Amino acid sequence: MTLIPIIRTKSALGAQRNAWAADGASIALVPTMGALHEGHLTLVREARRYVGPQGRVIVSIFVNPAQFAPHEDFDHYPRDLAADAAKLETSGGADFIYAPDASEIYPDGFAARIHIDGPASGLESEARPHFFSGVATVVAKLFLQVKPGCAFFGEKDYQQLLVVKQLVRDLDLGIEIVGVPIVREADGLALSSRNAYLSAHDRQIAGTLNRVLQGTATMVRKGTPIERAEHEAASILKQSGFSRVDYVAIRDAETLEPVKNLDRPARILAASVVGRTRLIDNMPV
Ligand code: AMP
């Protein structure tokens, strides 16, 4: 089996990309940190569907140091490029992997950092204050190196999706950002590369997160006041075995600003810790 090509440098990437652009192909980018699962592969299939058989799909795999705090799992984050390449080969749909060495993204002396307010404020930023500037910086770098016409992001990281849309809008990057619904396990747990950290016991508990969010969304739709529903959800999560609840919040689905009632599209978002794993999830209300 011939494996999908892996490109490691921005010069090789640029040469390939320019050859395709000269042929008039639409180019889609699917940015990932690897440890690929069915959620990522769904993004790749959506990208393929979107650009059609004549288009080109590039999957980037880069574990971005700028979005990890010193105490987070950068060193232990699962990395297996050969397994990722094999998955992309069998799932089909991608033309090559761009897996840059860190020096291609952050050469010596690199000092830029993109800061975003608006949708980046609050929620994830409370527990991870540098996270979205790390994400925005690497996504901008990848966009400028790959120069795609469109890029695919999962609703799994809903706040991140809105931050990336804001980045593209504010900096006139001219890239269409496509959000893809969350892919879940049979019990509703959102697929995540970090689910690999869950013990069998934690895995049971993890499955309750989406059910609690679903139940909370239903209660709010039936008239329970939003703030009360958020508090109740947090205490149910604690009773279910989560050791910490960073937030359960019902927010405006476009801006992530707090809402008092359901007079516009809203989203429930949560982050909670079980064992040593921090899980996030969200869904429409
Ligand atoms: P990551 O490798 O975790 O940075 O994720 C790369 C991309 O895949 C991001 O746009 C994620 O939102 C998306 N993604 C991760 N898990 C899922 C999932 N379960 N369903 C849909 N998209 C996902």
**pLDDT tens readout for residues 83-123:** 999 999 998 789 999 999 999 999 999 999 999 999 999 99
Q: For the chain, give the mean pLDDT.
A: 96
CA of 196 to the centre of ligand 1 (A): 14
Helix (H) or strand (E) holding 29: strand 27-32
Instruction: Name which residue sits closest to atom 18 of ligand 1, judged by CA.
Output: 39
Average pLDDT score over residue span 212-228: 97
Q: Collect all residues with Cβ–Cβ distance below 8 Å to 228 and sequence separation of at least 6.
A: none
Tell me the pLDDT tens digit for each residue of 12-31: 999 999 999 999 999 999 99
Q: Which two tokens stand for residue 58?
A: 């590039």
Ligand 1 binding pocket mutation candidate from 131, 157, 279 (most atoms within 8 A of CB): 157
Distance between CA atoms of 210 and 197, rounded to whole angstroms?
18
Which residues form the catalytic set? 40
The least confident of 68-72, 146-150, 166-170 is 68-72
User: Residue 2 above 70 pLDDT?
Assistant: no
User: Residue 62 above 70 pLDDT?
Assistant: yes
Q: Collect all residues with Cβ–Cβ distance below 8 Å to 232 and sequence separation of at least 6.
A: 216, 219, 224
Residue 280, helix vs strand vs coil: strand
Give the per-residue pLDDT at 92: 76
For the chain, what percent of residues have pLDDT higher than 70? 99
CB atoms within 10 A of CB 24: 8
For residue 143, with 0-12 CB atoms within 10 Å meaning exposed, 13-18 middle and 19 or more buried, which class applies?
buried
Ligand 1 binding pocket mutation candidate from 43, 59, 98 (most atoms within 8 A of CB): 43
Partners of 30 in beta bridges: 59
CA of 232 to the centre of ligand 1 (A): 28
Give the per-residue pLDDT at 84: 97
Average pLDDT score over residue span 253-265: 96
Atom of ligand 1 nearest to the CA of 152: 10
Give the per-residue pLDDT at 4: 94
Give the pocket of ligand 1 (CB within 6 Å). 32-33, 39-40, 42-43, 153-154, 156-157, 180, 182-183, 190-193
Binned at pLDDT 50, 70 and 90, residue 76 comes out as: very high
User: Residue 1 above 80 pLDDT?
Assistant: no
Give the per-residue pLDDT at 91: 85
Angle at 45 between CA 89 and CA 56, to 5 degrees: 75
CA of 100 to the centre of ligand 1 (A): 19
Q: Which two tokens stand for residue 285?
A: 């209300």
CA of 157 to the centre of ligand 1 (A): 7
- Amino acid (one-letter) located at 58: I
User: Residue 152 above 90 pLDDT?
Assistant: yes
Average pLDDT score over residue span 124-133: 96
User: Residue 205 above 80 pLDDT?
Assistant: yes
Atom of ligand 1 nearest to the CA of 190: 19
Atom of ligand 1 nearest to the CA of 181: 21
